Amino acid sequence: MKNLAINAAMLVLSIALVMVAASMGGLFGIGDWYRALIKPSWNPPNWIFGPVWSTLYLMMAVAAWLIWMKRGTHPVGLPLGLYAVQLALNAAWTAIFFGAHQMGWAFAEIALLDALILACVVAFWPVSRPASLMMVPYFAWVSFASFLNFTLWRLNA
């Protein structure tokens, strides 16, 4: 029963950590600056970002928890370390893009984020294939967001 309580607490902690990163969006949000940007015709509508990110953040949290659950049978330090760094970069991108309005720096940062997410996918695979696969939609979305970031930067330079 003790292990069940610890495992459940770690799942809650994993979700809470992701919520902290996600809260960066609430700090900066979509303001007049973003609304005034020239956007490509394929720019998603603003309403889509909330549901997509909510789903991705939940999948990320569960993936990290699945990795943590393998401690003792697999080395999890590197996979969880990569996860922590990418989560910090995820939060930082919002501050750079929406807070500082630095689209060029945001693109450089999101390119690094893409690389770290891919590193997580690879590092998660031998520990937990379901966890690795849960990170793939996040990688795809951030890759799309990278291209969108680059396009916005070029259109508004």
What are 95-119's pLDDT values in tens digits? 999 999 999 999 999 999 999 999 9
Cα(113)–Cα(116) distance, integer angstroms: 5
Residue 24 has pLDDT above 80, yes or no: no
Give the CATH number for residue 148. 1.20.1260.100
Domain assignment of residue 7, given as a range: 2-155
Residue 122: pLDDT band with limits 50, 70, 90: very high
90: CB partners within 8 A, 6+ apart? 21, 113, 142
For the chain, give the mean pLDDT. Answer: 94
- pLDDT, tens digit, 9 for 90 and up, residues 40-78: 999 999 899 989 999 999 999 999 999 999 998 889 999
Total number of domains constituting the chain:
1
